[in-house]
Amino acid sequence: MAVMAKSPRATPARTARARRKVEPTPPPTWIKPQLAKLVAKSPDGNEWAHEIKFDGYRMHARLDAGRVQILTRRANDWTDKYPAIAKSITRLPAQNAYLDGELCGVLPDGRTTAFNLIQNATDTSEGSLVFFLFDLLFLEGENLMVLPLVERKTRLASLLKGAPHSLRYNDHQMGHGPEFHRLACQHGLEGIVSKRVNGHYEPDRRTWLKIKCLNREEFVVVGWSDPEGGRHLIGSLLLGYYTPQGKLIYAGRVGTGMPVVELERLWRRLQPLVIDKMLLDEPPPRGTRFGSLLVLSRVHWVRPEMVVEVSYGEWTPEGLLRHVAYLDEREDKLPATCAGVRRR
């Protein structure tokens, strides 16, 4: 779906200008987002710009002659889900634009960790949503991806002057990456993203760097275990990740952080994915020094199509997650991108 802005009122002078002016080239239908790879430390030096890493859904906004589309990183059209954000885009002073950013649910204390706000947004609840914009790829018929990052961000900041409160410019720090990362962590933020100041926009390439404050990562769900005692529907989710060679490796289980409502939602989501055969390249260990016995006969295997984000304390020597807590499902992430980055 696209949201249409009101056309400007026609006047003889405007009509005459329109006859003389060639309509700008519309923005591309879809641009694959530039990606970031996880690293342990932020780079130093003035050739790097550093931004706050927001905890939300990566989104693109496409504006074409007043028509807006909100697109996920997988090119899904989610305009219907966020009509208020789409309407805000129509109020920008441009006919054609293509923007990159992070859609976040903002809590009263300013933190952007409220995935439920993003998932459950409606016309009445979208006041809690903010689209933090950090890149401008196309404007009024001009391809900006070939420009250096700092030039694109300067154009973006100018475009967002006077924009609605739900659209915010994500500013940056030039140089001093390690210090910026330390301050971000002290303020309870997820982390930072470091980008080369003179870098061009490179679709589908992991040339940005992300440095997290907490051990958080996405994993693909490979199954679930039966509940025990008074547990509801699901005992724990079994997690996996892909190696560079494409092998699906078991990473451990997560059973905490899921209230009854979420357990019921996850259980419904998993039913169509159920299969008879385990797709892991190697079976999970039945028990470890740090966890209870896993009874494989009580495991329900699923196709690896569902991605969840978890927090964790560490990786054990056996290569399994420890102190794991469920955060949310990540519909915006592809299973193949779950690479199980290890921090020890």
pLDDT of residue 113: 56
**Tell me: the pLDDT tens digits for 71-102?**
999 999 999 999 999 999 999 999 999 999 99
Percent of the chain with pLDDT over 90: 66
Identify the band that residue 1 occupies on the pLDDT scale cut at 50, 70 and 90.
Answer: low
pLDDT of residue 43: 95
Q: Is 210 a catalytic residue?
A: no
Q: Maximum CA pair distance of the chain?
A: 80
From the candidates 21, 32, 37, 53, give the one annotated as an active-site residue: 53
pLDDT of residue 83: 93
From 232, 261, 258, 242, select the one nearest 305 (Cα to Cα): 242
Over residues 258-278, mean pLDDT: 95
Higher pLDDT, 126 or 336: 336
Average pLDDT across the chain, whole number: 87
pLDDT of residue 111: 66
| Contact present, 274 and 224 (Cβ < 8 Å) | no
Q: Which of 99-103, 184-188, 336-340 has the highest mean pLDDT?
A: 99-103
Measured distance CA(224)–CA(267) in Å, rounded:
9
Question: In sequence order, what are the beta bridge partners of 69?
Answer: 62
Min mean pLDDT across 250-254, 271-275, 304-308, 319-323 is at 319-323
pLDDT of residue 297: 82
| Contact present, 328 and 265 (Cβ < 8 Å) | no
Q: Indicate the pTM of the whole model.
A: 0.65
Min mean pLDDT across 173-177, 222-226, 291-295 is at 291-295
Does the pLDDT value for residue 308 go beyond 50?
Answer: yes
pLDDT of residue 16: 46
Q: Which domains does the chain have, with CATH numbers?
A: 33-51+174-213 (3.30.1490.70), 55-169 (3.30.470.30), 216-337 (2.40.50.140)
| Contact present, 314 and 216 (Cβ < 8 Å) | no
**Tell me: the pLDDT tens digits for 7-60?**
445 544 445 444 455 677 899 999 999 999 988 889 999 999 999 998 889 999
Does the pLDDT value for residue 274 go beyond 70?
Answer: yes
Phi-psi bin for 14: left (phi > 0), alpha (psi -120 to 50), beta?
A: alpha
Does the pLDDT value for residue 235 go beyond 60?
Answer: yes
- Residue owning tokens 């990159």: 100
Question: In sequence order, what are the beta bridge partners of 60?
Answer: 71, 100
Measured distance CA(96)–CA(7) in Å, rounded:
14
From 326, 317, 309, 308, select the one nearest 344 (Cα to Cα): 317
pLDDT of residue 341: 66
Take residue 211 and report the two structure tokens written for it: 């440095």
Over residues 227-246, mean pLDDT: 92
CA angle 79, 146, 5 (to 5 degrees): 30
Phi-psi bin for 173: left (phi > 0), alpha (psi -120 to 50), beta?
A: beta
